[in-house]
Amino acid sequence: MLLPPTDQSIVARRQAIAAALRAIVPDGVVADESGLATFDADALSAYHQMPLVCVLPSTREQVSEVLKFAVAEGIPIVPRGAGTSLSGGALPREDGILIGMGRMKRILEVDYENGCVVVEPGVTNANITKAVEANGFYYAPDPSSQIACTIGGNVAENSGGLHCLKYGLTTNNLLGVTMVLPGGEIVTLGGKSGAQGGLDLLGLVTGSEGLLGVVVEVVVKILRKAPVTRTLMASFDTVPAAGKCVAAVIAGGVVPAAMEFMDRRAAEAIEAFNQPGYPAGAEAILIIDADGVEADVTHDMARITEIVTACGGRAVEATDEKQRARIWSGRKAAFAAMGRIAPDMICMDGTIPRHALPQVLEEMAQLSDHYGLGFCNVFHAGDGNLHPLILFDVMKDGEFERAEAFGADILRLCVKVGGVLTGEHGVGIEKRDLMTDMFSESDLEQQHRVKCAFDSGGLFNPGKVFPTLSVCIEQGHIHAHGGKLPHPNIPRY
Amino acid sequence: MRADSEAQVIEAVRAARADAAPLEIVAGGTRRGVGRPMQGSHGADLAQLDVSGLSGIRKYEPEELIVTAAPATPLSEIVQALAEKNQRLGFDPADWSQLLGSNGVATLGGAVSADASGSGKLRHGPARDSLLGFHAVNGLGEAFRGGSRVVKNVTGFDLPKLMCGAFGTLAVLTEVTFRVYPRPSHSVTLCLEDMTIDDGLAALRKIGRSALEPTGLAYLPGALLGEAGLPDAGNGAALIRLEGAPQPLEEKVAMAHGLLGRVSARRVEDGIGLFSRIGSGALFAGAVGDVWRVLVAPADAPRVAKDLNASSWLADWAGGVIWLAAPPQDAARIRAIAAAAHGQAMLLRAAPDQRASLGLYAPQPPALAELTARVKAAFDPLSLFNPGRF
């Protein structure tokens, strides 16, 4: 992995730059080595880099002044929320200012009448729900890192979660943002009305991975919590049967709240880990949630059970909340369970058309043989988002490199069958050099021109997303060693 | 000039670029009267690029909930094809022909470019929430694509969002891919009669906030009820559309009654037809004056509607949009009321000189206007496409 070369003349000015930032944010500049070490990586923890200096603004005006200063001085900027990115989006630069948004964490307004909440970017995803749940509301996108990740980071990454099939990604749950452009100008895109009166720049900025500016305020939709949620587990003797079932549920007019797939390897590892009661011998297991009002859920569950049976599966519905939680506890422990059976693993994230699942699993098994590494699959089957886990041992010579090559081949396979490189983790540095596998030169040039419309100096998060340098080795991915994940207290699923 | 294939679009754009001669992009032609009248360079007539030949469904995979079509595919054709599989487009595309008095055939690409989202937008969001990917030719005469053919994708910038509501000013679309949604087998439209603005819109917001997943929530004041075919609904009607399989639907209807503290509400016979006329602006086809869409936060709608004080108006999306007809001299007042409510007043139908002076939306703050201009130039640096329209 190569990043644009460090500008040593900036590094040489480190003290002066820190002093200038202190003049803007007197109590929020981190420049000492031990302080900076906190920020030297995000959740793509195979990669570390100490930032030049870190600034922690508390107001939008401070953000604006910091950006004006950085642009005037030609210093790269890397925005950071909670640092939970799985693709290296917040990896610092040796010659760059890391701008951490964690201090801007006020909930500014809860507006039930309009079904929205106005927050600063450093509020965590889970705290938005916490602020409104007593009144029966919640914020729908639920990335697995939701107890730690911030809404500003969610906007940058267009974060998803288990329930996007029915409730959409971040982009579908945003009404507006206020952001500071690289030149320091503050613009508001949308708002409580959702109306922008011009191009949909809100849609463009969402998922732009910190390349276009810094978000300082966010308006999100909140939804009424569904009165009823029911869960069904279905087991199948073959993977194609499970794949057929997923397609049949969708074609049958049911939109489940979640529809998760696990292959045999994953299910067995999970069963050994926390005994959620997954049936032994099944080649594939689906966990399906339906939510809504009682009448709709009863109807959907009956329909789903019918379809599962018709596809040759065995359906078991959770009879109470405890059993429901138990079924889900297995799925949510998938990463931890894999940590038990292999010293290291990386988690990939691609999306495929649902119908391609059997073919993709078959070809992945061939790749597994080729690279001599084990793998298993958990899969947001409803929306085709695949999370293969590749198992290896970093202490064995060459295994890490083989695991990364295996991972890159899986993503190329996703693209080959009509899918994409990333469904929810972002490109960051991790998949940057695979972008040419998915996009043509003119596709990438068009995106690059859009980037330049915001950031003509190329100072915002340089080296991320776009393969501006010559193609080189692909690296990265979420990397866990000895069963220890980065941010060990955050569940990952 | 016609272009029936991507190659021909490229050829046409390169020729226009060489001559610095801008183009009006036309397919069905039903929305030509929206936005600032376009002008050629140096006052010359604007050449048309007719892309109506880029038509037809290319790939429809019901079990993937994905459809790919050429942009000039008639709306009616795609709606019909999806209906055969009990599916539909989430943004409930609206045909503005009747409102605008235009001839021609409303197309999918036109609906996306105008973000002509209908009443059903309430449930599945506007066009931008459904457009997953596209192919297009930019102002450099280069073919490119944005997005993909899968529902969940965060690879690179989300360019499909930009195409929605851009009124053809960024690129010439050559292919569009949408996610589609199941279409419930039955629907019921309830009519709460004799409702004031405040009570009617409060009832709609209450249903909107519930878990009933309504697909239409509109308020019609007394003056519009005759036009809407509800002449005996008193001083105002709140309309609620619920959907589902027959039995759960009846239970949801009962729940709605419970939420509203009512024993029963009248059912509108042709609720689907009525909401289609609401969402397409057809109820204002015969109205005198300019026609506006004012987008506001739903809870502000009662106050904004009273301030607007139009003789002919309605609210859709539980108050998120107010349609109104007003005399041309009211324009500044309407824009000021929308701005005070942090909303947007979109001038949808007006005489050419009125559209020329007012534009589709109010001018943006300078920093945003400059950014918008730079983003447009990133696609079409010579302003070849629909120049000045938006």
Q: Using an 8 Å CB-CB cutoff, list chain A residues near B124.
A: none
Domain boundary among B279, B304, B330: B279
Residue A58 contacts B, CB cutoff 8 Å: no
Q: Is the pLDDT of residue A131 over 50?
A: yes
Taking CA atoms, A26 is separated from A96, A215, B150, B379, in Å, by 19, 21, 47, 41
Taking CA atoms, A118 is separated from A99, A111, A220, B364, in Å, by 21, 8, 7, 22
Yes or no, beta carbons of A187 and B295 under 8 Å apart: no
User: Are the beta carbons of B149 and B127 closer than 8 angstroms?
Assistant: no
Q: Answer whether A228-331 and A336-431+474-481 agree in fold.
A: yes
- For residues B42 and B140, state if they share a domain: yes
- For residues B35 and B158, state if they share a domain: yes
How many A/B residue pairs have CB atoms within 8 Å? 254
Secondary structure class of B324 (helix, strand, coil): strand
Mean pLDDT along residues B335-339: 98
How far off is chain A from B48, nearest CA to CA, in Å? Answer: 23
Domain boundary among B148, B183, B218: B183
> Any idea which fold A336-431+474-481 has?
Alpha-Beta Plaits (3.30.70)
- For residues B216 and B300, state if they share a domain: no
Percent of chain B with pLDDT over 90: 96
* Mean pLDDT for chain A overall: 92
- For residues B229 and B175, state if they share a domain: no
Mean pLDDT along residues A425-432: 94
Yes or no, beta carbons of B361 and A423 under 8 Å apart: no
How far off is chain B from A272, nearest CA to CA, in Å? Answer: 31
Nearest CA in chain B to A452: B378
Q: Using an 8 Å CB-CB cutoff, list chain A residues near B154.
A: 157-158, 160, 169, 207, 422-427
C-alpha B336 chain-centroid distance: 23
Task: Pick the closest to residue B134 from B381, B382, B379 (CA basis).
Answer: B379
Mean pLDDT along residues B210-233: 95
Pairing of strands B47-50, B23-26: parallel
Q: How confident is the model at residue A481 (pLDDT cuts 50, 70, 90)?
A: low
The correct answer on CATH 3.90.1530.10 for the domain covering A228-331 is no
- For residues B216 and B176, state if they share a domain: no
Q: Which of A296, A384, A447 sits opposite B157 (nearest CB)?
A: A447
- For residues B200 and B265, state if they share a domain: yes
pLDDT at A4: 81
Q: A8-100 architecture in CATH?
A: 2-Layer Sandwich (3.30)
Mean pLDDT along residues A20-32: 97
Nearest CA in chain A to B294: A195
- For residues B251 and B306, state if they share a domain: no
Q: Give A331-334 contacts, CB < 8 A, sequence gap 24+.
A: A331/A260, A331/A262, A331/A270, A331/A276, A331/A287, A331/A378, A331/A493, A332/A144, A332/A491, A332/A493, A333/A270, A333/A273, A333/A274, A333/A276, A333/A491, A333/A493, A334/A262, A334/A266, A334/A269, A334/A270, A334/A378, A334/A389, A334/A493
The secondary structure of residue B28, as a DSSP letter, is S
Give contacts of A 307-346 with B, CB under 8 A: none
* A287-296 b/e (C-beta count within 10 Å ≥ 16 → b): bbbbbbbbbb
pLDDT at B43: 66
- For residues B107 and B134, state if they share a domain: yes
Mean pLDDT along residues B142-146: 98
Q: Is the pLDDT of residue A473 over 80?
A: no
Q: Distance (Å, rounded) from C-alpha A13 to C-alpha A53?
A: 11
For residues A382 and B99, which has the higher predicted lDDT (pLDDT)? B99
Give contacts of A 198-217 with B, CB under 8 A: 198-204, 206-208
Q: Which region holds residue A217: left if phi is over 0, alpha if psi is between -120 and 50, else beta?
A: beta
Contacts of B302 (CB under 8 A, 6+ apart): B197, B198, B201, B202, B319
pLDDT at A472: 26
- The amino acid occupying position B17 is R
Contacts of B36 (CB under 8 A, 6+ apart): B355, B356, B359, B360, B388, B389, B390
Q: Distance (Å, rounded) from C-alpha A269 to C-alpha B361?
A: 57
Interface confidence: ipTM more than 0.95: yes
pLDDT at A490: 59
- For residues B212 and B248, state if they share a domain: yes
Give contacts of A 215-244 with B, CB under 8 A: 224-227
Q: How confident is the model at residue B336 (pLDDT cuts 50, 70, 90)?
A: very high
- For residues B191 and B286, state if they share a domain: no
Yes or no, beta carbons of B255 and A451 under 8 Å apart: no
Number of domain units in chain B:
3
B374 inside domain: no
Yes or no, beta carbons of B154 and A422 under 8 Å apart: yes
Q: Which of A113, A193, A201 sits opposite B295 (nearest CB)?
A: A193
Q: Distance (Å, rounded) from C-alpha A263 to C-alpha A360?
A: 12
The residue of B134, B157, B379, B385 whose CB has the most chain A CBs within 10 angstroms, and thus the best one to mutate to test that interface, is: B157
For residues A482 and B263, which has the higher predicted lDDT (pLDDT)? B263
Mean pLDDT along residues A97-109: 98
Nearest CA in chain A to B141: A442
Name the burial class of residue B176, with classes exposed (0-12), middle (13-18) and buried (19+) by CB atoms within 10 angstroms of its CB: buried
Q: Which of B64, B129, B210 sits opposite A224 (nearest CB)?
A: B210
pLDDT digits 0-9 by tens, A345-371: 888 999 999 889 889 989 999 999 999
User: Are the beta carbons of B239 and B218 closer than 8 angstroms?
Assistant: yes
Handedness of CA A160, A162, A164, A170 (dihedral sign): negative
Taking CA atoms, A286 is separated from A161, A235, B126, in Å, by 17, 6, 31
Yes or no, beta carbons of B157 and A204 under 8 Å apart: yes
Q: Using an 8 Å CB-CB cutoff, list chain B residues near A293.
A: 211-213, 248, 251-252, 255
Nearest CA in chain A to B129: A172
Q: How far apart are the first and last CA of chain A?
A: 26
CATH number at residue B196: 3.30.70.2190
Residue A415 contacts B, CB cutoff 8 Å: no
Task: Pick the closest to residue B150 from A224, A49, A357 (CA basis).
Answer: A357
Q: Is the pLDDT of residue A334 over 90?
A: no
Q: Distance (Å, rounded) from C-alpha B381 to C-alpha B358?
A: 24
Beta bridge partners of A110: A117
B380 inside domain: no
Residue A302 contacts B, CB cutoff 8 Å: no
Residue A113 contacts B, CB cutoff 8 Å: yes
Pairing of strands A53-55, A97-100: parallel
Handedness of CA B357, B360, B366, B370 (dihedral sign): negative
Q: How confident is the model at residue A476 (pLDDT cuts 50, 70, 90)?
A: very low
Residue A441 contacts B, CB cutoff 8 Å: no
The domain in which residue B10 lies consists of 6-183
The total number of residues written for chain A in this structure: 493
B385 inside domain: no
Q: Which of A354, A385, A465 sits opposite B64 (nearest CB)?
A: A354
Yes or no, beta carbons of B152 and A114 under 8 Å apart: no
pLDDT at A489: 60
- For residues B60 and B176, state if they share a domain: yes
The count of C-alpha atoms lying within 13 angstroms of the C-alpha of B134, restricted to the half-sphere facing its C-beta, is: 26
Q: Which of B155, B162, B300 sits opposite A203 (nearest CB)?
A: B162
Q: Is the pLDDT of residue A484 over 80?
A: no
Q: Give B314-317 contacts, CB < 8 A, sequence gap 24+.
A: B314/B218, B314/B219, B314/B220, B314/B221, B314/B224, B314/B278, B314/B283, B315/B201, B315/B204, B315/B218, B315/B219, B316/B119, B316/B122, B316/B216, B316/B217, B316/B218, B316/B278, B316/B279, B317/B119, B317/B121, B317/B122, B317/B217, B317/B218
Residue A450 contacts B, CB cutoff 8 Å: yes
Q: Distance (Å, rounded) from C-alpha A322 to C-alpha A277?
A: 13
Yes or no, beta carbons of A295 and B248 under 8 Å apart: yes
Contacts of A344 (CB under 8 A, 6+ apart): A391, A392, A393, A394, A399, A400, A403, A479, A480, A481, A482
Virtual torsion, Cα B155, B157, B163, B169, nearest 10 deg: -140
Q: Using an 8 Å CB-CB cutoff, list chain B residues near A208.
A: 157-158
Mean pLDDT along residues B286-314: 97
Yes or no, beta carbons of B166 and A199 under 8 Å apart: yes
- For residues B103 and B157, state if they share a domain: yes
Yes or no, beta carbons of B159 and A447 under 8 Å apart: yes
Q: Is the pLDDT of residue A470 over 50?
A: no
Beta bridge partners of B145: B135
Name the burial class of residue A331, with classes exposed (0-12), middle (13-18) and buried (19+) by CB atoms within 10 angstroms of its CB: buried
Q: What is the pTM of this model?
A: 0.95
Q: Is the pLDDT of residue A480 over 80?
A: no
B98 inside domain: yes
Yes or no, beta carbons of B252 and A296 under 8 Å apart: yes
B348 inside domain: yes
Yes or no, beta carbons of B365 and A427 under 8 Å apart: no
pLDDT at B239: 98
Could you tell me which CATH number the domain at A107-224 has? Answer: 3.30.465.10
Mean pLDDT along residues B85-100: 97
Q: Is the pLDDT of residue A65 over 90?
A: yes
Strand order in the sheet with A107-111: A107-111, A116-119, A214-221, A174-180, A186-190
Q: Distance (Å, rounded) from C-alpha A418 to C-alpha A437?
A: 12
B92 inside domain: yes
Taking CA atoms, A9 is separated from A30, A289, A459, B197, in Å, by 20, 56, 15, 65
Q: Which of B129, B155, B205 sits opposite A168 (nearest CB)?
A: B129
Yes or no, beta carbons of B143 and A442 under 8 Å apart: yes
Yes or no, beta carbons of B161 and A451 under 8 Å apart: no
How far off is chain B from A395, nearest CA to CA, in Å? Answer: 32
Domain spans of chain A, in order of start: 8-100, 107-224, 228-331, 336-431+474-481
Yes or no, beta carbons of B211 and A292 under 8 Å apart: yes
pLDDT at A80: 97
Q: Using an 8 Å CB-CB cutoff, list chain A residues near B213.
A: 292-293, 296
Q: Is the pLDDT of residue A469 over 50?
A: no
B383 inside domain: no
Mean pLDDT along residues A86-98: 95
pLDDT at A196: 96
Q: Give B4-7 contacts, CB < 8 A, sequence gap 24+.
A: B4/B51, B4/B53, B4/B54, B5/B53, B5/B54, B6/B135, B6/B137, B6/B143, B6/B174, B6/B175
B386 inside domain: no
